[in-house]
């Protein structure tokens, strides 16, 4: 009997403690579903996300990485997400320049009140990555089982 495994992507979501993480919580309380393929990593601020984190996530087997933070202007630390936005803009542009599919990385601003947006974004993102397939261009075979 042939065992055909369905491809399930691994998604890493860096969520800001003050907005998107609470947004995910709200999505949960409101019984809005989003795929279990999304693994949330809580960070104190979107600005905490070092470009190395994104690359490391891909190395350890992520197929897509999404960073979610407070809406510009609403940062708990006043300006963290503005700096993060500049950094991610440059990093994503560079990944695109190196030929890594631009759909694999994404930034979304989700507030604590936007549980529905959280669930919608994650559903969309998982669909995109499932369509793209496995991450081959930034993989590290030593980290694959």
Partner 1 sequence: MQKMMEKRALELLGDGTVNRVLGWSAGDFIYDVTPAVFKTAEEVQDKFLYNDFCGANLSKYLVKESRKEGKILVFLKPCDTYSFNQLIAEHRIIRENIYAIGVECFGKADEEKLRAKGITGITGIEMKDGTYTVHTVYGDETVKAYEVMADRCLSCKSKKHVAYDELLGSEGEVVEDCNRFDMVEKLEAMTPDERYEFWRGELSRCIRCNACRNICPACTCEQCVFDNPNSGVSQKAAVNSFEENMFHIIRAFHVAGRCTDCGECSRVCPQHIPLHLLNRKFIKDVNTFYGEYQAGENPEAKPPLGKYEKNDIEPGEAGGAKA
CB neighbourhood size of 67 (10 A): 29
State the residues that interact with partner 1 by CB under 8 A: 51-52, 55, 58-59, 72-73, 79, 82-83, 85-108, 125, 128, 137-142
In the block, tokens 């700096």 appear at 83
Minimal distance in Å, beta carbon 39 to partner 1?
18
CB neighbourhood size of 136 (10 A): 10
Q: Which is nearer to partner 1, 4 or 143 (CB)?
A: 143
Q: Which is nearer to partner 1, 18 or 58 (CB)?
A: 58
Minimal distance in Å, beta carbon 102 to partner 1?
6
Minimal distance in Å, beta carbon 7 to partner 1?
19
Q: Which is nearer to partner 1, 29 or 92 (CB)?
A: 92
Minimal distance in Å, beta carbon 97 to partner 1?
5
CA atoms within 13 A on the CB side of 85: 12
What lies within 8 Å, CB to CB, of 70 at 6+ separation is 16, 18, 19, 20, 46, 76, 81, 109, 111
In the block, tokens 């019984």 appear at 31
Q: Residues for the chain: how many in total?
A: 145
Q: Which is nearer to partner 1, 4 or 116 (CB)?
A: 116
């Amino acid at each position: 009997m042939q065992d055909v495994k369905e491809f399930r992507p691994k998604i890493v979501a860096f969520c800001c403690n003050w907005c998107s993480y609470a947004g995910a919580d709200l999505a949960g309380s409101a019984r809005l579903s989003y795929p279990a393929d999304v693994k949330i990593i809580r960070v104190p601020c979107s600005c905490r996300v070092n470009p190395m984190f994104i690359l490391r996530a891909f190395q350890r087997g992520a197929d897509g990485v999404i960073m979610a933070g407070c809406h510009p202007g609403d940062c708990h630390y006043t300006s963290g997400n503005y700096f993060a936005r500049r950094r991610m803009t440059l990093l994503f542009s560079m990944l695109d320049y190196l030929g890594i599919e631009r759909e694999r990385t994404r930034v979304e601003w989700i507030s604590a009140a936007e549980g529905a947006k959280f669930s919608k974004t994650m559903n969309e993102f998982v669909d995109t990555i499932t369509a793209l397939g496995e991450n081959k261009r930034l993989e590290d075979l030593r980290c694959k089982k």
